[in-house]
């Protein structure tokens, strides 16, 4: 069975009852009613005509008595629910999690005990700022929320693809979101932070500086949802069976590595395929290329809380992995797409307060605010307090409470009691919650402070970790951060905001601030000006490290090219002897090859073989692919070189630092860059000048494929010179 068939079979097996397109049986007190597979009303009445409303004569008015029409239109009028205020645009998948070994030393959470058990999960990825209709590849934080359906209840690990946040206290969350959303007087720009209100806010909130470094990095424009990290952001607690507490930070590490897009590439993809990330996730699962992450934890003993030099409760800080290593404790696999987007992806309700015994909260002031906000949001968005009864949100373990009634109630509660304690419940047995040791137990932290509206001075360092992040980036990643700040700040209409922002950046790195400021029409960065502003706090700490390689995206992943998308450019006269062995090697290595030509249908090879064309230059650009192969063939190469879109396809891939392989005459498409068969090829470009006739030799073809695969595995080749001069 092929991976595609396996995935389809899994979907069929996982399809839930209740799909009106299938025959089903309804049990009513032992009475069975069979519904044939035909169109009915919501009450099961067969509809005789779904094309015409009931009228007084064929040209007469529609009759009010047409209850079938009224039901259909009324339901349609109410199909939409309020979209999420943040994380509105999302995509999701089902899967499972299993732990590698028992974590009983640190936590009594049941799903972290048995390596042989698989816990069902539902995972939703999202962008923060945009609406449901915005594009996938905007520069933004990505949500990474995991719902574990455990035997002790549902546990929601609600996080992002960035380990820190813009603000330290939930009191500022509405202000942050109001600032980054489209400006209210004209509702622009959509799904973008490059406007005055956001940077006005950010420039006046130095605590956002660390997060801004991440948001301006390639982390904010991931290549794929399958290729980004996830983080719990906040510090939580593990509680073991003895009641002992350890602080914990959660990490999701993708097996495929952490990879991003170029900004130019991300902008073009937004126009060519606004669903790029959503489609990539869906197709990977349909193809049987199930995305995988490992769950990692950083564990800090309770008595070491103040030993790191910064405050664990501060959500604008992370724990460098060199100080506290990440222990990989389990694996997450996504193996089934949703059956219905609205019922599952849209109606799923996450909440950081949905925890299980063995996991508890810290006093992070941003987390504490979120514990209130999420329930309030779901009640508004999903229509009432019973959102937990929707199938996608319902716990798989038995649950019982005294809650009753309300909108959209689905549970039919039996009996006469809806209170506790009672003696009138099932079987007459006394029902009482006795406050014993079972169930969820909060850690008994001793707290006896005065009530204050202040922040701890331990939250006052806003720049040390921002500097650590910048120092840890590769040369190319630093260039991308500079370019991102320049682009964003150049969109501002108020020069004073640009100036305030680069003044703040001077506290991170003076050279960074000067480079950002150069094209913005403002003065030199002035750190003293930033320090003189109201509310500015900069109490530096000394970290034991200046750089953290774990903060860079470079050299991540397992070195494979699994699921990478390769474009093979062809025209009539292509040499199949230089195409087939290389394509076979790529596909055996796990890559997905698509043949791109001037037209759909087939092209004829030089040996008269017909080669199927999957896509055309008109309907798919190079930004949809990870690498490009141009096989040999005199006529094919000449035809492609005469097609502007084909030449642009290769030059654009070159400009975006992707791997390119040309064989024989195929090098013509790179000739405008001065690359010819006998020249030294730039990084990531494989120029195979071997005569076509020799490619029948398995050794020659194998070597070309080997070199090309090695180039693809590096993801990008950022050290190419003068790419800004490439006309693409």
* Residue 22 pLDDT grade (very low, low, confident, very high; cuts 50, 70, 90): very low
Question: What six digits make up the tokens of 305?
Answer: 């809380």
Gap between the Cα atoms of 193 and 497, Å rounded: 14
Contact (Cβ atoms closer than 8 angstroms) between residue 139 and residue 162: no
Q: CA gyration radius for the chain? A: 29
Residue 171: pLDDT over 90: yes
* Residue 429 pLDDT grade (very low, low, confident, very high; cuts 50, 70, 90): low
* Residue 422 pLDDT grade (very low, low, confident, very high; cuts 50, 70, 90): confident
Quote the mean pLDDT of the chain: 91
Question: What six digits make up the tokens of 514?
Answer: 């000067």
* Residue 34 pLDDT grade (very low, low, confident, very high; cuts 50, 70, 90): low
- pLDDT, residue 696, reads 56
Residue identified by tokens 């860079």 is 552
Sheet of strand 615-616: strand arrangement: 615-616, 592-597, 565-569, 627-630, 659-663, 685-688
Gap between the Cα atoms of 360 and 367, Å rounded: 11
Of 1-10, 379-388, 599-608, 609-618, the one with minimum mean pLDDT is 1-10
* Percentage of the chain lying above the pLDDT 90 cut: 75
Give the contacts of 203 (CB within 8 A, at least 6 positions apart): 497, 500, 501, 504
Position with higher pLDDT, 547 vs 428? 547
Cα–Cα distance list, 193 to 480, 488, 638 (Å): 16, 7, 45
* Residue 16 pLDDT grade (very low, low, confident, very high; cuts 50, 70, 90): very low
**Residues designated catalytic:** 87, 160
3 state SS for 595-657 = EEECCCEEEEECCCCEEEECEECCCCCHHHCCEEEECCCHHHHHHHHCCHHHHHHHHHHHHCC
**577 CB neighbour count, 10 Å cutoff:** 22
pLDDT digits (tens, 9 = 90+) for 480-503: 999 999 999 999 999 999 999 999
For residue 394, give the 3-state DSSP assignment.
coil
pLDDT digits (tens, 9 = 90+) for 695-719: 556 678 889 999 999 999 999 999 9
Cα–Cα distance list, 638 to 393, 618, 646, 664, 712 (Å): 58, 19, 11, 12, 26
- pLDDT, residue 399, reads 77
For residue 308, give the 3-state DSSP assignment.
coil
In Å, the largest CA–CA distance within the chain is 91
Position with higher pLDDT, 724 vs 297? 297
* Residue 24 pLDDT grade (very low, low, confident, very high; cuts 50, 70, 90): very low
* Residue 18 pLDDT grade (very low, low, confident, very high; cuts 50, 70, 90): very low
Gap between the Cα atoms of 673 and 660, Å rounded: 13
pTM for this predicted structure: 0.91
Residue 539: pLDDT over 90: no
Position with higher pLDDT, 566 vs 695? 566
Of 52-61, 125-134, 186-195, 248-257, the one with minimum mean pLDDT is 52-61
**Average pLDDT of the residues in 509-535:** 93
Residue 13, Cα to own-chain centre: how many angstroms?
A: 27
Residue 301: pLDDT over 60: yes
Contact (Cβ atoms closer than 8 angstroms) between residue 123 and residue 252: no
Torsion of CA 547, 550, 555, 557, to 10 degrees: 180
- pLDDT, residue 13, reads 42
Residue 350, Cα to own-chain centre: how many angstroms?
A: 15
**336 CB neighbour count, 10 Å cutoff:** 21
Query: 624 — alpha (psi -120 to 50), left (phi > 0) or beta?
Result: alpha
β-pairing, 327-336 vs 292-301, is: antiparallel
Q: Which of 37-41, 54-58, 539-543 has the highest mean pLDDT?
A: 54-58
Question: What six digits make up the tokens of 423?
Answer: 């003696």
């Amino acid at each position: 069975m092929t991976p595609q068939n396996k995935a389809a079979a899994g979907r069929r097996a996982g399809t839930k009852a209740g799909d009106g397109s299938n025959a089903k049986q309804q049990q009513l007190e032992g009475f069975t009613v069979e519904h044939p597979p035909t169109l009915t009303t919501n009450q099961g009445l067969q509809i005789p005509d779904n094309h015409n409303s009931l009228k007084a004569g064929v040209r007469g008015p529609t009759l009010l008595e047409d209850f079938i029409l009224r039901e259909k239109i009324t339901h349609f009028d109410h199909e939409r629910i309020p979209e999420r205020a943040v994380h509105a645009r999302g995509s999701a998948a089902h899967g499972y999690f299993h732990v590698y070994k028992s974590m009983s030393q640190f936590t009594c959470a049941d799903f972290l005990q048995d390596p042989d058990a698989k816990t069902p999960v539902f995972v939703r990825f999202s962008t923060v700022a945009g609406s449901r209709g915005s594009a996938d590849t905007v520069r933004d934080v990505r949500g990474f929320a995991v719902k574990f359906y455990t035997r002790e209840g549902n546990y929601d690990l609600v996080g992002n693809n960035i380990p820190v946040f813009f603000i330290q206290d939930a009191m500022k969350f509405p202000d942050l979101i109001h600032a980054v959303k489209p400006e209210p007087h004209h509702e622009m720009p959509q799904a973008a932070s490059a406007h005055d209100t956001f940077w006005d806010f950010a420039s006046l909130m130095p605590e956002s500086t660390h997060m801004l470094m991440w948001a301006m990095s390639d982390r904010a424009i991931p290549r794929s949802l399958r290729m980004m990290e996830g983080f719990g952001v906040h510090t939580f607690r593990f509680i073991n069976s003895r009641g002992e507490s350890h602080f914990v930070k959660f990490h999701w590490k993708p097996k495929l590595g952490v990879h991003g897009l170029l900004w130019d590439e991300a902008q073009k993809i937004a126009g060519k395929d606004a669903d790029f990330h959503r489609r990539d996730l869906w197709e990977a699962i349909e193809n049987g290329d199930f995305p995988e992450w490992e769950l990692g934890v950083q564990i800090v003993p309770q008595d070491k809380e103040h030993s790191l030099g910064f405050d664990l409760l501060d959500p604008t800080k992370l724990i460098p992995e060199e100080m506290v290593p990440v222990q990989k404790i389990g694996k997450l696999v996504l193996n089934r797409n949703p059956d219905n987007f609205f019922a599952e992806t849209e109606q799923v309700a996450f909440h950081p307060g949905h925890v299980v015994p063995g996991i508890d909260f810290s006093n992070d002031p941003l987390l504490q605010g979120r514990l209130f906000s999420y329930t309030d949001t779901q009640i508004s968005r999903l229509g009432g307090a019973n959102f937990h009864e929707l199938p996608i949100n319902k716990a798989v373990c038995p649950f019982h409470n005294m809650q009753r009634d309300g909108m959209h109630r689905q549970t039919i509660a039996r009996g006469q009691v809806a209170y506790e304690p009672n003696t009138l419940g099932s079987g007459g047995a006394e029902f009482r919650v006795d406050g014993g040791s079972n169930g969820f137990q909060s850690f008994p932290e001793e707290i006896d402070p005065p009530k204050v509206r202040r922040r701890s001075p331990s939250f006052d360092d806003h720049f040390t970790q921002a500097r650590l992040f910048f120092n840890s980036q590769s040369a190319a990643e630093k260039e991308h951060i500079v370019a991102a700040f320049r682009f964003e700040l150049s969109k501002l209409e108020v020069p004073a905001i640009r100036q305030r922002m680069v003044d703040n950046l001077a506290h991170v790195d003076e050279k960074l601030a000067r480079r950002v400021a150069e094209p913005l029409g403002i003065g030199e960065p002035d750190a003293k000006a930033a320090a003189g502003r109201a509310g500015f706090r900069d109490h530096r700490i000394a970290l034991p490290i200046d750089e953290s390689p774990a903060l860079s995206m470079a050299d991540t992943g397992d070195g494979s090219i699994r699921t990478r998308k390769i474009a093979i450019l062809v025209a009539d006269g292509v040499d199949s002897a230089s195409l087939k062995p290389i394509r076979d090697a790529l596909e055996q290595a796990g890559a997905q090859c698509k043949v791109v030509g001037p037209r759909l249908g087939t092209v004829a090879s030089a040996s008269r073989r017909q080669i199927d064309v999957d896509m055309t230059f008109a309907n798919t650009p190079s930004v949809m692919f990870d690498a490009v192969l141009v096989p040999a063939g005199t006529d094919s190469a000449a035809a492609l070189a005469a097609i502007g879109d084909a030449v642009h396809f290769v030059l654009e891939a070159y400009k975006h630092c992707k791997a390119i392989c040309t064989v024989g005459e195929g090098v013509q498409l790179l000739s405008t860059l001065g690359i010819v068969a006998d020249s030294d090829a730039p990084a990531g470009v494989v120029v195979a000048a071997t005569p076509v006739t020799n490619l029948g030799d398995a050794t020659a073809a194998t070597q070309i494929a080997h070199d090309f695969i090695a180039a693809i595995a590096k993801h990008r080749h950022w050290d190419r010179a003068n790419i800004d001069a490439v006309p693409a």
